[in-house]
Structure 1
Amino acid sequence: MSALRTARRLLSVPDRLLGRVSMYLLTVVSLALIGVVAIVLAALGRLTYEAGGIALSLVVGVVATLAGTVLGAVLTRSSPHPPSSVITGLILALVLWPSLPTGGPWYQEDLVVLAVAGLAAGASKYLLAWRGRHVLNPAVAGLLVVGLTGYGASIWWVGSQALLPVVVVTGLVVLWRTRRLLYAASLVVPAVALTLVGFTRSGLSLGEAVTIALASSPILFLAAFMLSEPLTTPPRQWQRVGVGALVGVLYAVPLFTDLPVLAQLPVAVTPELALAVGNVVAFTFGVRRRVVLRLEATRRSGTVLDLTFAPSAPLRMRPGQYLEIDVPRAGLTDVRGRRRVLSIASDPASDRVRLVTRTAAVAGAEPSPVKAVLAAMRPGEGLTVTSVGGDFVLPDGDRPLALVGAGIGVTPFLSHLDAIARGTLPARDVVLVHAVKDPADVVEVAGGAALPDGVRRVLVVPPGAPRGVLPAGWEVVDGEALTAAVLARAVPDLDRREVLVSGSPVAVAAATAAAHERGARTVRTDVFLGY
């Protein structure tokens, strides 16, 4: 047991480190690191490309994509988002041919092909979108423009043996941060397996086929940095696995074109075309109709912002799922972009939508531009829902539950309990544990008075916190954090309950370890990634 606890603590270290960095910045740094390593390896003769050509391609890819982004934003009267454009430009530079000017006709230069792809990719963020959602990964859109027109071709030079270590390390970091390891694996496993079959069919040894599939192909880069792109990711786990597997199978199609069923394909299946098909399938899983949330009421307490909206149409979702909202007024100034994922804190069957978020990590800190816009909204102003997703729904059956919410991580549980109070979900034996560092940050359960007798609510507050400001209807337990000892006092029979934990990566890791220490056999988690 002690070894297991040690392992869980070690696994929480990356969360503590990576949780302080925005997803966009982490991805930019990861891709830039791959580019820098490529330049160094080229200078040392380890890559067959010129170091100067790689460096210039990275610059051209980023600048051209930024220009296309600005153009698309102007044409659609939107706010551009530079960080995502930098990511797209770096990806294009790592996929298209890197070279210095050759002195030939300017329109045949590889750098011009890259610039055209960047312009198309940047513009596609706005011109190839529906109700705020990307139809295609922008990098894929740019590659398809130059590829399908015959103007240029991708060579995916990033998929080289020399770059494998840095691609694996940075890819794992990004996938860990986004909790998309299974999604990436759903592409990698069938792609590698079919690649091995295809190459061994052609006469290569298994060892040679493994080297090509893992060390000399773009499979890992495609999965880590392109498939996992949040704005083209399906909302449900089973959908992600299905899309990833589809892309993985399509990736390997060129190795089987000798088969009659594949011999007559009208176009060559490239990695970007395989991903484009996956993107389109993923897009169909999104919101089918436009839903606008009109603000009705705002409540603030401590760092908590509690918003009530009237939706323009019913939301087709289940208690515990999340919404992705578009906040265009903050798009240019917020480095994390204009979209935010927020768990709904009310019963989706209700005619009102409650969203609860934190304006800042600590009281007195400046909110992000998106949170500042949300806090400044006036009644009648609206937000557009761009997607609905999540798998954090209550399990079927009647097994007793313990719902453990660290801070703002309590929000999906508010949706569960509101649905129980309204009769949308059946009554069952539930203990809600809501841990806060400041009593002012307690988030109340809507319809708490209507909850059945089998539902207990337990607040975990720091020792010495004033009890007079705490809401009625809660049991109170002293505790600085969700330790095993605190959970033992809050939920004495935890070992007989199925446990659900929600919150920041660090808080979830700690609470999960504590729950297992108290004998919990099944712990499901929902991590607030903070894109």
Structure 2
Amino acid sequence: MFSIISYPYHRAQHFVDSVGMYRLVLGSLGALAICSILAGFANLLPYSGLSQLFTLALALLTALLLNWVIALILKIPANHESAAISAFILFFLAIPESDIFANWPLVLAVAIAIVSKFILAYKKQHFLNPAAIGAAALSVTGIYKFSWWVANPVLFIPLLMVGILVVMKVRRWVPVLTFIMVSLIIYLAEAIRYGDQLSTMLSTFFMSWPTLFLAFYMLTEPFTMPAMKGPQILYAGLVGFLSNSSLFASIILITPELALVIANTAMMPWRLRQKLYLQFLEKRQIAKDTYEFIFKKPEGFSFNAGQYLEWMLAHTNPDSRGVRRYFTIASSPTEDEVHLAFKFIARGSSYKHELMHLDIGKKIIASQLGGDFVLPEVPEVKLALIAGGIGVTPFRSHIQYMVDTGMVHDTKLFYCCNTIAEMAYQAVFSNAAEYIPLEVIPVIAKETVPMPAETGYVTADLINRRAPDYAERVWYISGPPPMVQAYYAVLKKMGIPKKQIKRDFFSGVA
């Protein structure tokens, strides 16, 4: 029964992992707009299909044209997908009008949103949600009140379907659910306070309130959400409280867009991340079909071992997966370069093909430093690492950091590959084993290998033999999602508490 239920979820996860994040968000908003326009033509919404088409075209034209002009003036790459996403979001907030002059609040909000990305920036990175600041600029000043008309029972099912895909892509279930729960609690408390009927309030909350659209498309905006889980939960709770509470009504009306801007501002100490321009220095092959790319480390750039960056490589004719990828930083914070590594196949993406032919001295843009897949602060903690293929990169960072700093953990690395030839960083790990208590255990699926390597897969029996003190260790799993989930299930079945298991995923879209 569980497999029947979980199969559609895993198929959907596979689909979203095969599409770039910006493409997925933009495509899902486009699908929602199509549903809305069709509902308009069917007279299921108070806004006609033609007025919606006209309004959406106007919003997109404003966003893309202004984004192109500013990028041309500043001589920087234009991220048109991001601009289009802001236009779509604001389209769903402002009432569609068939008269071009009646749409001026939407045009103004879109213009403010696009300009804010370049003006309200820290180290070339915007720190306020563009769509939220565009809407809040008009609502706070009393110029225009946004209706959030997307919160309509007719669009509830389409919104839920496409929104879930977005959350699956960004893997932000904890903050999204935190936001929804806090919002619901405050919403119901306000309803009781004013004597409203709870029986109707629940349906109103989910079908006619801005909560879901705000959660799926604005709360999850990666540049303005904190990078670590703890601050993410705090951020989500703050937005949920502010957007539903009347506590400050005597001072100011806090609209959903204003709540998001306030939370963006309040969480800045946990969120400010610079945009990096990394100069390419060298490419080298580190295993079969696996390559490492080395970039000059910018002055002042710091990170924790095991964290990741979003890497943007603009190129002509990008495929459906887009020009952005998330890669773990394979180097240690102690090293003078920034490394990334991936497996390359001939039918790979346009992004990888472009990166494989990157000229020495060229620059790639990196941003959105984040991730909780970091080492324990207490050196006495024993570690067990399970890597699947190129999922070994965060462990390369961890292990080199331990060597360089002397912050030593008793460590066992179960390195899972199809063949020995696919194992990367063998020299790095051999060298590290001379300085720290590290045991590398190759687990090879498609070759018969002699001990101390293992043939097959990581099983409870293998763990018992190679790490009999497994219950004392903190386990880290990194690799493709199916592998991570499978080994997580093995560890749970062995009685290892959830708090002792840390998981890192890579989607394989690159």
Where on the TM-score scale, by shorter chain, does this alignment land: which range?
0.7 to 0.9
Call closer, same or farther: CA 1:136–1:314 in 2, change over 3 Å.
closer
Three-state SS of the structure 2 residue aligned to 1:431 is strand
Residue equivalent to 1:347: 332
Q: 1:477 aligns with which of 444, 447, 454?
A: 454
Call closer, same or farther: CA 1:334–1:311 in 2, change over 3 Å.
farther
Call closer, same or farther: CA 1:450–1:30 in 2, change over 3 Å.
closer
Work out whether 1:278 is the aligned partner of 2:275.
Answer: no
Call closer, same or farther: CA 1:187–1:31 in 2, change over 3 Å.
same
Three-state SS of the structure 1 residue aligned to 2:387 is strand
Three-state SS of the structure 2 residue aligned to 1:35 is helix
- Note the residue ranges of structure 1 that are not aligned, 5 or more in a row: 468-473
- TM-score by length of structure 1 reads 0.84
Distance apart, 1:221 and its partner CA: 0.8
Q: Between 199-208 and 509-518, report the one with greater CA deviation.
A: 509-518
Cα deviation 1:439-472 (Å, max 9, x = unaligned): 44322053632325632112233433899xxxxx
Residue equivalent to 1:322: 308
Residue equivalent to 1:264: 251
Q: Distance in 1 between matches of 2:375 and 2:386?
A: 13
Three-state SS of the structure 2 residue aligned to 1:95 is coil
Q: Distance in 2 between matches of 1:485 and 1:10?
A: 31
Q: 1:505 aligns with which of 464, 468, 481?
A: 481
Distance apart, 1:417 and its partner CA: 1.1
Residue equivalent to 2:423: 442
Three-state SS of the structure 2 residue aligned to 1:214 is helix
**What letter corresponds to residue 500 of structure 1 in structure 2?**
Y
Call closer, same or farther: CA 1:453–1:421 in 2, change over 3 Å.
closer
Conserved? CA contact 2:19–2:321, under 8 Å: no
Conserved? CA contact 1:292–1:384, under 8 Å: yes
Residue equivalent to 2:69: 71
* Counterparts of residues 91-240 of structure 1 (less than 5 Å): 91-101=89-99, 107=101, 109-110=102-103, 112-148=104-140, 150-240=142-232
Residue equivalent to 1:470: none
Call closer, same or farther: CA 1:331–1:232 in 2, change over 3 Å.
farther
Three-state SS of the structure 2 residue aligned to 1:263 is coil
Q: 1:427 aligns with which of 409, 417, 441?
A: 409
Residue equivalent to 2:387: 405
Distance apart, 1:6 and its partner CA: 8.0
Call closer, same or farther: CA 1:367–1:304 in 2, change over 3 Å.
farther
Distance apart, 1:334 and its partner CA: 6.3
Residue equivalent to 2:442: 459
Q: Between 162-171 and 243-252, report the one with greater CA deviation.
A: 162-171
How many residues are treated as equivalent by the alignment?
503
**What letter corresponds to residue 112 of structure 2 in structure 1?**
A
Three-state SS of the structure 1 residue aligned to 2:440 is strand
Q: 1:311 aligns with which of 287, 291, 297?
A: 297
Conserved? CA contact 2:388–2:416, under 8 Å: yes
Distance apart, 1:226 and its partner CA: 0.8
Three-state SS of the structure 2 residue aligned to 1:305 is strand
Cα deviation 1:43-68 (Å, max 9, x = unaligned): 44432222322233233322322222
Three-state SS of the structure 1 residue aligned to 2:369 is strand
Distance apart, 1:207 and its partner CA: 2.2
- TM-score by length of structure 2 reads 0.87
Conserved? CA contact 2:20–2:324, under 8 Å: no
Three-state SS of the structure 1 residue aligned to 2:78 is coil
Superposition RMSD in Å: 3.2
Three-state SS of the structure 2 residue aligned to 1:349 is coil
* Counterparts of residues 353-364 of structure 1 (less than 5 Å): 353-358=338-343, 360=344, 363-364=345-346
Work out whether 1:243 is the aligned partner of 2:243.
Answer: no
**What letter corresponds to residue 40 of structure 1 in structure 2?**
L
Conserved? CA contact 2:321–2:349, under 8 Å: no
Residue equivalent to 1:49: 47
Distance apart, 1:326 and its partner CA: 4.7
Cα deviation 1:394-442 (Å, max 9, x = unaligned): 33554533211112211111111112222342231x2112222354432
Q: 1:394 aligns with which of 371, 375, 399?
A: 375
Q: Distance in 2 between matches of 1:486 and 1:18?
A: 33
Work out whether 1:298 is the aligned partner of 2:275.
Answer: no
Call closer, same or farther: CA 1:82–1:289 in 2, change over 3 Å.
closer
Conserved? CA contact 2:277–2:364, under 8 Å: yes
Conserved? CA contact 2:315–2:354, under 8 Å: yes
Conserved? CA contact 1:137–1:232, under 8 Å: yes
Cα deviation 1:263-305 (Å, max 9, x = unaligned): 233xx32211111122234444345667654444321244322
Work out whether 1:524 is the aligned partner of 2:505.
Answer: no
Q: Between 452-461 and 227-236, report the one with greater CA deviation.
A: 452-461
Q: Distance in 2 between matches of 1:488 and 1:6?
A: 31
Distance apart, 1:181 and its partner CA: 1.1
Q: Distance in 2 between matches of 1:292 and 1:28?
A: 26
**What letter corresponds to residue 133 of structure 1 in structure 2?**
Q
Q: Distance in 2 between matches of 1:58 and 1:483?
A: 53
Conserved? CA contact 2:281–2:295, under 8 Å: yes
Three-state SS of the structure 2 residue aligned to 1:256 is coil
Three-state SS of the structure 1 residue aligned to 2:453 is strand
Q: Between 86-95 and 331-340, report the one with greater CA deviation.
A: 331-340
Conserved? CA contact 2:19–2:320, under 8 Å: no
Conserved? CA contact 1:196–1:209, under 8 Å: yes
Call closer, same or farther: CA 1:336–1:93 in 2, change over 3 Å.
same
Distance apart, 1:171 and its partner CA: 1.6
Q: 1:418 aligns with which of 400, 412, 432?
A: 400
**What letter corresponds to residue 412 of structure 2 in structure 1?**
V
Conserved? CA contact 1:460–1:478, under 8 Å: yes
Q: Distance in 2 between matches of 1:249 and 1:464?
A: 55
Call closer, same or farther: CA 1:50–1:134 in 2, change over 3 Å.
same
Cα deviation 1:505-527 (Å, max 9, x = unaligned): 23322332343345544432111
* Counterparts of residues 378-389 of structure 1 (less than 5 Å): 378-383=359-364, 385-389=366-370
Conserved? CA contact 1:319–1:415, under 8 Å: yes
Q: Distance in 1 between matches of 2:4 and 2:487?
A: 14
